[in-house]
Structure 1
């Protein structure tokens, strides 16, 4: 039976640290989603982002109902595990892990890209791996340490966004909305509907991280989870549309497209000068690093749940003194590092994995909510989502998936390249007993025709071994003590293949064997149970004639007869004995 792992009691997170861990990921989205949405929706980007905020509001109830009913780590995996089968739940888990992997690698790399912009000769590849290692170490130190780091980054990030918003607002007060009006008057490619649709599809990436809180709900205090959902929704609803609006009010759209890689930093330069641009760049590097921490914490909670459900190997549940599953964090670090090295830091392809995986997880979570309502309707829960809102939310995410597939058809191929190997590992673990039985049957199928031959060969070899071991040997004794007899036995064990030994004492007329010798032979018989000892005493004179007689009588070669080294008074020369062996 597998060893039972008892999860140690750890200090549970309050509202701020819990929000910070998942909030760093979702709040960092304003660094890239504003420019990305403007790229597709143009002057209507802020409207697309408001629609995303509406969709996220619907998902607040969905997540609240599912996790409230089943408050266990695992997110979409946990929802489907308790409403469908382990195989279906594993699909959600695989997608979530891929999403976390892509988030961690992209965020770490982007953070170091921002640092590279601040410092010349900054080695992006090496420092990205160092950053991943750093947050692996923080995760291993425990959820408490992780939350402290997350809170510092989170507070600094929100403060930076507020400062940027205030300076941008002051800029607009002084310069008016002329640029915004010019942007509004620009022609739209296609139609307004298309612009809003593709802008919405791109903007949906701005809510990545919303699912993270559900993956470490067991580490949160009672009632905190729903507050984290509310807080993340407020952040996304305020800052993402606001940043897009401010960018459109201060920068012409062509200029936005020119600086889309670091839009907020450029916005800070326009509104407040180089110091504000520098502040936003530092903030970007920090909060993107915080998103890496979110990935480590989220994947640790999810993987731990999967391991407890025997989908992944049980050794991953080993804990350190802090109570953290350090092997999970280390394995995730190795995965992310390997992806960095394989892609050589060119991470554009991972955007496809990130996009499809994250949106698919959102859809599966919604499906989990539907199944929870149908199959677990009597399960108590703190809140319930509305059926219409639930179906609308799922439909909107599916639309976003379709939109991203249309905008970036190559993403699907890249996603499949990563998804299939990852899912294959999970499928193997889920069906490992069946696979092992299949391998066993294949082996039997190919080797059964040889079984009879192997058995005959086996029996033949055993007969040869037995024949060799059945060869009898003789040792002639004359009042030898137990130490001498033991040397005889050791010699035979080391030098001869036999299980039979005759110990022969040749006595003269009226001569009797000593009781000590008989006792010593009994001791040896017990000490060497694998050698059958036979003690024989006979009258006569030990010499060449007797040796030849016994050799013929027992059908035993003379060289299989042993004696101890004779003394000076022995009446025969060694060569006269016909080949008797001296062994002592």
Structure 2
């Protein structure tokens, strides 16, 4: 029956009665009929699955201190480019503002811990959104993250060059110094994640030594000269200010001081590279030093010799923030490539170190382009950075709300109170509004760069849709079909659309419930440009009675997608799943499944699949 139907289809397309195109065929929209098959995994497949699983586990190379160091240099260096602006609006109340700003991270820590315990996957919060919502929403998060990492790199490099130019006479402009920092840390990042983490740890150790020396010198200076200068500053600034004016100064200082906490959002970007149970400790290691140093930094005093040392330390730590941005962006861009948003070339690595060199160079070029587009204006980049960072931080509690609503069965090691979730969202919104009130142009720069990135992601994700519009426009102009130059365009566009939709995706299913299968295929149709779909069911001997019949129904219901059904005898576990991915030549990032329950015995990260339904 199926063969005869297929023969009929070759004569009359199922879309022929409702063809959108007046002069051209729409046969390319029919994907063909699916098939039903049984697969037995070979020893070679199983061995390859074991190799891939071991490779994943070997990537967990970062302990709590090296993982902390990668982001800590950014979060501790943030104080150097926020202090001037905070002092300008907060005055003597700046230490209070910075301390309160750092306190807000107590809201985010439990939120981020719960998210990572449920989905310990790199590239967060893009990967969180990808597993709890649609791909379009996830790409919005990816755009914010990419802007955040780019702004981290640009602001850190430009501020480091500015600090250096303030102490010595440079033979070149400040923006050239920023470019030199780009180049230097590009090569450092090509040494691989492990070596980069060691460099970051060394810089962090140097920063700790300098801070200890500064604290000791300041205590000695206070002992000799007393607190007269601090008392005088406080008294002079305090005179004539109403309580409302003081509160406004403190609030404005908090709004600007939040930018000094940048780097905290970078740790989730490389979660899967951390050893087990390290992530909560990393968040603690990032938060507590920031809580202390950001608020007391401006109270510390030193002589000329120590001042030079602090400036050198600031330059080095800010440069290390460039490394944080590059490595975090690499994890994100690699995930985007695995999810077919970016070309597969972004996965190319340096054989000796495993560093994704195409990704590194592309991100640095993107950051340099953003820097150049502002005329090397650090103020503009900083304004955009503030809003982007707050938007990224708001994504974490939003992701947790979506996770609890759409994936309530997903296992997790910790669960935070709703107070922390709503509190984090409230703080992010309030501080963002406060920054816009201080300088309304901040929203304009943020919107401009975000829209540009979203347009680029939309084009990348919807190539077939855009080609279909071009095909339609070509169909509406029949006179073009007769011109020698444009005569074969229709066939060329159809071939290109078929080629783009040839990428296979896989649905991992447990039951034969047709409503569940229907919803999963709908997800694929709305989120992936493919015409090739495989439904895979692992079994121990018995298969669901209605699965074959339901697969045929779904194959008929979605003529634009070839629905193949494959039965695999064996246990559903990470090793066998990796073996199937190797056999089918389908990356696990394009394998989708329902949310596992609380009793599921394997970590979600080891599966490497996408969760698309409850």
TM-score, normalized by length of structure 2? 0.66
* Contact map agreement 1:14 1:221 (CA 8 A) in 2: yes
* Contact map agreement 1:34 1:241 (CA 8 A) in 2: no
Mapped pair 1:49 → 2:98: yes
Offset from partner CA, 1:103-127 (integer Å, 9 cap, x none): 1111111112222234323423333
- C-alpha displacement of 1:53: 2.1
Mapped pair 1:280 → 2:310: yes
Which of 111, 115, 125 aligns to 1:76? It is 125
Mapped pair 1:201 → 2:201: no
- Please show how residues 346-357 of structure 1 align to structure 2 within 5 Å: 346-357=377-388
- C-alpha displacement of 1:452: 7.4
- C-alpha displacement of 1:444: 1.8
Q: Name 1:434's counterpart in structure 2.
A: 465
Mapped pair 1:227 → 2:277: no
Mapped pair 1:298 → 2:294: no
Change (3 A) 1:98 1:371: same
* Contact map agreement 2:474 2:480 (CA 8 A) in 1: no
Gaps of 5+ in 2: 1-48, 489-614
Q: Name 1:368's counterpart in structure 2.
A: 399
Change (3 A) 1:274 1:433: same
Which of 64, 70, 73 aligns to 1:24? It is 73
Change (3 A) 1:272 1:101: same
- C-alpha displacement of 1:272: 3.1
* Contact map agreement 1:296 1:329 (CA 8 A) in 2: yes
Change (3 A) 1:122 1:285: farther
Paired with 1:35 and 1:55, the residues of 2 have a C-alpha distance of 21
Which of 190, 193, 209 aligns to 1:140? It is 190
Paired with 2:141 and 2:480, the residues of 1 have a C-alpha distance of 46
Number of corresponding residues: 428
Q: Name 1:402's counterpart in structure 2.
A: 433
Which of 162, 177, 196 aligns to 2:227? It is 177
Mapped pair 1:156 → 2:187: no
Q: Name 1:377's counterpart in structure 2.
A: 408
Q: Name 1:574's counterpart in structure 2.
A: none
Paired with 2:162 and 2:83, the residues of 1 have a C-alpha distance of 18
Q: Name 1:34's counterpart in structure 2.
A: 83
Which of 145, 152, 155 aligns to 1:106? It is 155
Q: Please say which of residues 32-41 and 103-112 is displaced more in the overlay.
A: 32-41
- C-alpha displacement of 1:10: 3.7
Which of 125, 140, 144 aligns to 1:95? It is 144
Which of 308, 313, 320 aligns to 2:350? It is 320
Gaps of 5+ in 1: 248-270, 459-584
**Structure possessing the higher radius of gyration over alpha carbons:** 1
Change (3 A) 1:382 1:173: farther
**Aligned partner of residue 67 in structure 1, secondary structure:** helix
Offset from partner CA, 1:131-165 (integer Å, 9 cap, x none): 21221122122101111111111111122122212
Q: Name 2:341's counterpart in structure 1.
A: 311
Paired with 1:341 and 1:286, the residues of 2 have a C-alpha distance of 23
Q: Please say which of residues 181-190 and 57-66 is displaced more in the overlay.
A: 181-190
Paired with 1:334 and 1:450, the residues of 2 have a C-alpha distance of 39
Q: Name 1:557's counterpart in structure 2.
A: none
Paired with 1:178 and 1:275, the residues of 2 have a C-alpha distance of 23
* Contact map agreement 2:371 2:381 (CA 8 A) in 1: no
RMSD over aligned CA atoms reads 2.3
Paired with 1:31 and 1:155, the residues of 2 have a C-alpha distance of 17
Structure of greater relative contact order (alpha carbons < 8 Å, 6+ residues apart): 2
Paired with 1:209 and 1:118, the residues of 2 have a C-alpha distance of 26
* Contact map agreement 1:115 1:122 (CA 8 A) in 2: no
- C-alpha displacement of 1:299: 0.3
* Contact map agreement 1:37 1:45 (CA 8 A) in 2: yes
Q: Name 1:484's counterpart in structure 2.
A: none
* Contact map agreement 1:111 1:285 (CA 8 A) in 2: yes
Paired with 1:435 and 1:239, the residues of 2 have a C-alpha distance of 51
**Aligned partner of residue 272 in structure 1, secondary structure:** coil
Change (3 A) 1:26 1:442: same
- C-alpha displacement of 1:195: 1.7
Which of 276, 291, 315 aligns to 1:237? It is 291
- C-alpha displacement of 1:177: 2.4
Offset from partner CA, 1:201-222 (integer Å, 9 cap, x none): 1111111110101101121111
Change (3 A) 1:96 1:452: closer
Paired with 1:340 and 1:350, the residues of 2 have a C-alpha distance of 7
- Please show how residues 458-497 of structure 1 align to structure 2 within 5 Å: none
Offset from partner CA, 1:349-394 (integer Å, 9 cap, x none): 1112101111001111110011112222222222222101210111
Q: Name 2:17's counterpart in structure 1.
A: none
Change (3 A) 1:126 1:380: same
Change (3 A) 1:170 1:33: farther
**Aligned partner of residue 29 in structure 1, secondary structure:** helix
Q: Please say which of residues 31-40 and 325-334 is displaced more in the overlay.
A: 31-40
Q: Name 2:592's counterpart in structure 1.
A: none
Q: Name 1:127's counterpart in structure 2.
A: 177
Q: Please say which of residues 294-303 and 52-61 is displaced more in the overlay.
A: 52-61
* Contact map agreement 1:48 1:203 (CA 8 A) in 2: yes
* Contact map agreement 1:74 1:215 (CA 8 A) in 2: yes
**Aligned partner of residue 96 in structure 1, secondary structure:** helix
**Aligned partner of residue 28 in structure 1, secondary structure:** helix
Paired with 1:326 and 1:71, the residues of 2 have a C-alpha distance of 25
Paired with 1:229 and 1:217, the residues of 2 have a C-alpha distance of 11
**Aligned partner of residue 376 in structure 2, secondary structure:** coil
Q: Name 1:260's counterpart in structure 2.
A: none
